[in-house]
A and B are shown apart, each in its own frame.
Chain A
């Protein structure tokens, strides 16, 4: 009995940590709600008392330090081993300074400030959004507004980003084979391994009631870890599939990336 209660309390705490509210968990376990309620209230009191959001400046500074150290660490290892094998001299020290300067310019800078790609109708890369139909049938409309898309290169920390030309997509219109191109432009040729979609707003309206409904997106971003290649002479169409699923019987939904339906397809550039 106590073990059951411990598990239920634990589940409720997990759900609250993920963004659910306590009332939903209490309604899922009515037999325990009287015992659960005061404990969840205490959790709320403690969290509220110590709540603080670190300043954006502190977070940015720490991020820059981390990425700078990361870039330095990745490049220093091979450089250092090379220099250990040869006599130290002023000439080599000068070379080291030059190497680090080049590394700084080519590797660290793109990590700290990923270059923003510009759209072009003749570009070698098209980015599309689609929707695998899980619970999308519950919606009259589900508008997702995308603020930016980040591509991460496979072999380095290099990141590139672009702002979609079409920023808001209605997932109810993009079910199954349907997909909508939201950006096209030139992307440097190479191997890429990760794609992040940063979402600024999700507005869902239910088919059954016509009312707005809470659709969560933990962290405000969708992430796919999927290797793909971009070349200069072939157009790469990358489709990022987003799906919406109900989180239980509490009338809430969550957006998720659908890796099985996402991926790159390549087509020849048309000859003019």
Chain B
């Protein structure tokens, strides 16, 4: 009886090593992905750390899924972000568009940054949930369209189409506001 591992399936130790490597490349990206959703940098850093811990503890379930590990990390990030927002909704959550960005610059620069932040945030709010996710995973997660498709259960062609439509929408809103 053959009880050994099949050669093409990595062992759990290999998955653990890969996760440790991905940490170096993806921690910042995961933190930015979370930040776009929750608007709090410190919380985003904490949640990014949790994503990797949760991934480590769930590697057995990952082995059965057969999707790229970085895509799986963003699935976990999405779930933890949703949990966080649910918890915050039960308390009094500070809406993302009321956040004042801290700045070391002079007050005029800070005010300008806040205006720009509000402008982009308002435009992002006009996107559909799926479009927001595509933009977030592509612009901040650095995933390819194929990897995004794997997360959203869409073809990469459908992701490319959603991406173009989303950016055109953003352009339309931000461009109009700028005039």
Where the two chains meet, the residues of A that have a C-beta atom closer than 8 Å to any C-beta of B are 2-3, 5-7, 9-10, 13-14, 17, 38-39, 41-43, 45-47, 49-55, 58-59, 61-63, 65-67, 69-70, 73-74, 152, 155, 157, 194, 219, 223
Q: Are A9 and B170 in contact (CB under 8 A)?
A: no
Q: In the complex, which residues 119-153 of chain B have their Cβ closer than 8 Å to any Cβ of chain A?
A: 120-121, 124, 135, 138-140, 142, 144-145
Are the CB atoms of B23 and A6 closer together than 8 Å?
no
B28 near A53 with CB under 8 A, answer yes
Chain A binding surface SS class: helix
Asked if B167 and A39 make an inter-chain contact with CB atoms under 8 angstroms apart, the answer reads yes
CA distance A51 to B116 in the complex (A): 13
Residues of B within 8 A of A58 (CB): 42, 45-46, 49
On whether the beta carbons of A43 and B167 are closer than 8 Å, the reply is yes
A73 touches B56 (CB 8 A): yes
Cβ contacts under 8 Å, A194 to chain B: 17
Question: Is A43 within 8 A of B28, CB to CB?
Answer: no
Cβ-closest chain A residue relative to B49 = A62
Contact A74 B13 (CB under 8 A): yes
Q: How far is the CA of A240 from the CA of B155 in the complex (A)?
A: 39
Interface centre among B19, B120, B124 (most CB of A within 10 A): B120
Contact A6 B161 (CB under 8 A): yes
User: Which of these, B24, B25, B46, B174, contacts A45 with CB under 8 Å?
Assistant: B174
Contact status A46-B135, CB under 8 Å: yes
Q: Check B139 against A70 for contact (C-beta < 8 Å).
A: no
Chain B contacts of A46 at CB under 8 A?
120, 124, 135, 139, 170
Residue of B nearest to A59 (CB): B27
Q: How many residues of B contact A (CB 8 A)?
A: 49
Question: Contact: A66 with B56, CB < 8 Å?
Answer: yes
- A14→B139 CA distance, assembly (Å): 9
| Residues on B with beta carbons closer than 8 Å to the beta carbon of A3 | 157
Q: Give the docked Cα–Cα distance between A67 and B21 (Å).
A: 11
Scan residues 42-74 of chain B and give those whose CB is less than 8 A from a CB of chain A. Answer: 42, 44-46, 48-49, 52-53, 56-57
Report the minimal beta-carbon distance from A236 to chain B, rounded to whole angstroms: 22
11 contacts between A and B (CB under 8 A): A3-B157, A7-B160, A41-B171, A43-B139, A43-B167, A50-B36, A50-B140, A52-B35, A62-B45, A62-B48, A66-B56
Q: Which chain B residue shows the least CB distance to A55?
A: B45
Complex Cα distance, B60 from A250, in Å, reads: 44
Within 1-46 of B, Cβ neighbours of A (below 8 Å) are at 13, 16-17, 19-21, 23-25, 27-28, 31-32, 35-36, 41-42, 44-46
CB distance B16 to A9 under 8 Å? no
By a CB distance below 8 angstroms, the chain A residues around B19 are 66, 70
Query: What separation, in Å, do the CA atoms of A168 and B81 have in the docked complex?
Result: 44
The answer to whether A70 touches B20 (Cβ under 8 A) is: yes
Query: 8 closest pairs, A vs B, by CB?
Result: A62-B49, A58-B45, A6-B160, A49-B120, A42-B171, A54-B31, A39-B167, A17-B142
Closest to A152 in B: B17
Tell me the complex Cα distance, A74–B52, Å. 16
A46 to B56, CA, bound (A): 31
Most B CB atoms within 10 A — which of A65, A66, A74, A152?
A66
C-beta contact mask, B93-125 vs A, less than 8 Å → 1, else 0?
Answer: 000000000000000000000001100110010
Shortest CB-to-CB span from B14 to chain A, Å, is 9
B83 within 8 A of A: no
Q: Are B160 and A42 in contact (CB under 8 A)?
A: no
The answer to whether B32 touches A52, judged by C-beta atoms less than 8 angstroms apart, is: yes
In angstroms, Cα B156 to Cα A99, docked, is: 49
B53 — which chain A residues lie within 8 A by C-beta? Answer: 65-66, 69
